[in-house]
Amino acid sequence: MLRGLVCWSLLLVSMMGCGPSILLGDDGIAGATDVDDDGSGSSGSGGAPPPVTTGTTTMPPGTTAMPTPPDPDDGRIFVETDLGTPLMCDPYLQDCPPGEKCVAFANDGGDDWNAYVCRDVVGDPAGLDESCVMEGSPLSGYDTCGFGAMCWGVDPVTLQGTCVPQCVGSEQEPLCERPGDICVIPDDGVPPLCLPVCDPVLQDCPEDFGCYPAADYFACLPMDPGGTVDPGAPCETHEECTAGALCVAPDLVPDCAGAIGCCTAWCDLWGPMPDAPCLPGQQCTSYFEEGVFPGPRTIGGCIVP
């Protein structure tokens, strides 16, 4: 049902989805979800950084053991626990033992979140939207956020990020407790996070986050550190473009033939000069299909008509 930029950038974006939640995948190809008149929909696969693996990962039943006390002189934040097989858990139910939380991690030490594990909640944890630190790697699951939150948008060098809430409810009906958030879910469900709804024209997200399509709305997602591509230049993902732009099919941008995709500007359909951000030959066109406005109807994108 959705048209406009949803269809234009369908094969290019790494952060696209349509339906009750945004669906992210690992191959830069967004999944199409048809939104019916009753608001229901069915989803496909999609993409997001860091990449996530498709399919379902089943962890073997875990075993528990007494934690090994940390060395007070080694400067480490986290308690090392000899668990043997990691304790599996449900991130929606948060069914870990007291003092622990269920978080996503890479169970093979790789570059993809692919499972859930119970990790200790640190003493005096960082609150939502506060700065946090990972230990070991961005995908270790050891962070300084509180219960029901995880460290997101982690810098791979400094291992610093921001605490964001995890989705609640269930995999079938994911919810967010904080008003103004939307549940953002990778195509394999790891990890489901609640991120702020935003305006792609205003780009009203926190520093280092960009406003990208998310279901019928837009959500604040981590920007590519190298996201400096201006409208009219080649791109492969949204986050490569400068703030206020997105990556679309090359035939929608002048003089961009032969590229995988090209950056183009968002625009305000109801603004005094809607075509002002557009390149010569482009027009500000509705993000949503005419007559169907499940999200903000003022949002448009610059394309060749």
Q: What is the pLDDT of residues 103-148, one digit of tens each?
A: 999 988 888 888 999 999 999 999 999 999 999 999 999 999 999 9
Give the highest mean pLDDT range of 16-30, 70-84, 174-188, 246-260.
246-260
Is this structure's pTM higher than 0.75?
A: no
Residue 79 has pLDDT above 70, yes or no: no
pLDDT value for 227: 67
Q: Is the pLDDT higher at 288 or at 179?
A: 179
Average pLDDT, the chain: 73
Lowest mean pLDDT segment, chosen from 27-36, 120-129, 177-186: 27-36
Confidence band, pLDDT 50/70/90 cuts, at residue 193: very high
Residue 73 has pLDDT above 50, yes or no: no
pLDDT value for 114: 87
Residue 60 has pLDDT above 60, yes or no: no
Confidence band, pLDDT 50/70/90 cuts, at residue 188: low
pLDDT value for 107: 86
List pLDDT tens digits, range 250-305.
Answer: 999 999 988 999 999 999 998 999 999 999 999 999 887 765 555 567 889 999 99
Q: How far apart are the first and last CA of the chain?
A: 19
Residue 57 has pLDDT above 90, yes or no: no
pLDDT value for 185: 83
Residue 168 has pLDDT above 80, yes or no: yes
Please report, rounded to a whole number, the percentage of residues in the chain having pLDDT higher than 90: 42
Q: Is the pLDDT higher at 298 or at 178?
A: 178
pLDDT value for 120: 95
Residue 238 has pLDDT above 50, yes or no: yes
* Mean pLDDT in residue range 74-96: 61
Confidence band, pLDDT 50/70/90 cuts, at residue 217: confident
